[in-house]
Amino acid sequence: MTERYDISLNTPAGQLTSAVEVPTGFVPVSAIVPMMRRLGEEAQALEERRSIEAGHAISCKKGCAACCRMLVPVSAPEAFALRDHVQTLPETEQTRLAQRFAVTRTALLARGLWNDLIEMGESTNPPDDDALEPINRAYYALRLPCAFLDQDVCTIYEHRPAACRELLVTSPAEWCQDPVAHPVDALPVPVRIGPALSLLWGELTEQPPKLIPLATALDWAARHEQENRPRWQGTHILDRALDKVWRFLSQAFQQK
């Protein structure tokens, strides 16, 4: 059973009102992922509208996969939700995906990056932006396509992580091929849903928040499977999730 809640949030790009369906029973934290992604997208849509009204069109289009070669961080609830989704795919697709993830792992091992990424997902003290920068650069230098990418199309488009949805640029699409040489003009992100989910997971499970590189996320979710077994009342998860969203929104207002 679910209960409907009307949510109203004040974002730097305007008022967001949304209706969400929340399970009334006890669910794992990953159950909140679809709702949080939708909230993030609705907040982002306000930013898009504001940018277009100011004459800055969004360059990102379906089929452009330049940013699908970057290091994508996901929260623990997203890693569990992704694994759950992959397990619903036909066996042939699961096998294809496993092969692509194995190719990614081999490439990262060969460049000495795999263990850094595993460590990032396991660390009780996640790296800050400065510590992440050299790993981000080394990863992007490989131009390694995301394992979910097939012929430059995201095979999990409806289930892709929040970080993939949040990177929208107004600079020319070609610049994304080499953002080191051409820093891109990215749209502001009012609420970073991945970090918000990470904080939520940290609070509920009494663990440090974690950000897990997407290339290692399915392995991580398998290793940590038992951590997605605890259940909380849906309304309690929603309450704590909105607390994190408000925290990000108040930071966004302070930075204006």
Q: Which is nearer to ligand SF4, 69 or 224 (CB)?
A: 69
Q: Which is nearer to ligand SF4, 139 or 201 (CB)?
A: 139
Q: What is the rounded CA–CA span in Å between residue 46 and residue 189?
A: 10
Min CB(83)–ligand SF4 separation in Å = 13
Binding positions for ligand SF4, 41-80, rule CB under 6 A: 65, 68, 72
Instruction: Please report how close the Cβ of residue 18 comes to ligand SF4 at its closest, in angstroms.
Output: 23
How many positions of this chain bind ligand SF4 (CB under 6 A)?
A: 11
CB of 69 to ligand SF4, least distance (A): 8
Rounded Cα distance, 160 and 146, in Å: 11
- For residue 195, give the nearest of 130, 244, 133 by alpha carbon: 244
Q: Rule CB under 6 A: which of 182-241 touch ligand SF4?
A: none
CB of 72 to ligand SF4, least distance (A): 5
Smallest distance, ligand SF4 to C-beta of residue 254, A: 29
Q: How large is the angle between the packed helices 214-223 and 114-122, nearest 10 degrees?
A: 50
Residue closer to ligand SF4 (CB basis): 27 or 149: 149
Closest CA to 225 of 20, 16, 28, 24: 28
Rounded to 5°, the CA angle 210-168-163 comes to 15
> Strands 153-154, 2-11: parallel, antiparallel or unpaired by DSSP?
unpaired
**66 CB neighbour count, 10 Å cutoff:** 20
The alpha-helical segments, DSSP class H, found in the chain are 33-53, 76-87, 91-110, 114-122, 129-141, 162-166, 193-205, 214-223, 234-254
The binding track of 138-177 with respect to ligand SF4, each residue x by CB under 6 A or -, is: --------x-xx----x-x---xx--x-------------
Q: Is 233 helix (H, G, I), strand (E, B) or coil?
A: strand
Q: Report the b/e string of 109-129 with b at 16+ CB within 10 A.
A: eeeebbebbbebbeeeebeee
Q: How far is the CB of 128 from ligand SF4 (least distance, A)?
A: 23
CB of 47 or CB of 78, closer to ligand SF4? 78
Question: Could you tell me the smallest distance in angstroms from the CB atom of residue 235 to ligand SF4?
Answer: 30
Distance (Å, rounded) from C-alpha 54 to C-alpha 117? 39
If binding is defined by CB under 6 A, does position 108 make contact with ligand SF4?
no
Minimum CB distance to ligand SF4 smaller for 159 or for 224 = 159
**Of the two residues 140 and 246, which places its CB atom closer to ligand SF4 in the complex?**
140
The residues of the shown chain that bind ligand SF4, judged by CB under 6 A, are 65, 68, 72, 146, 148-149, 154, 156, 160-161, 164
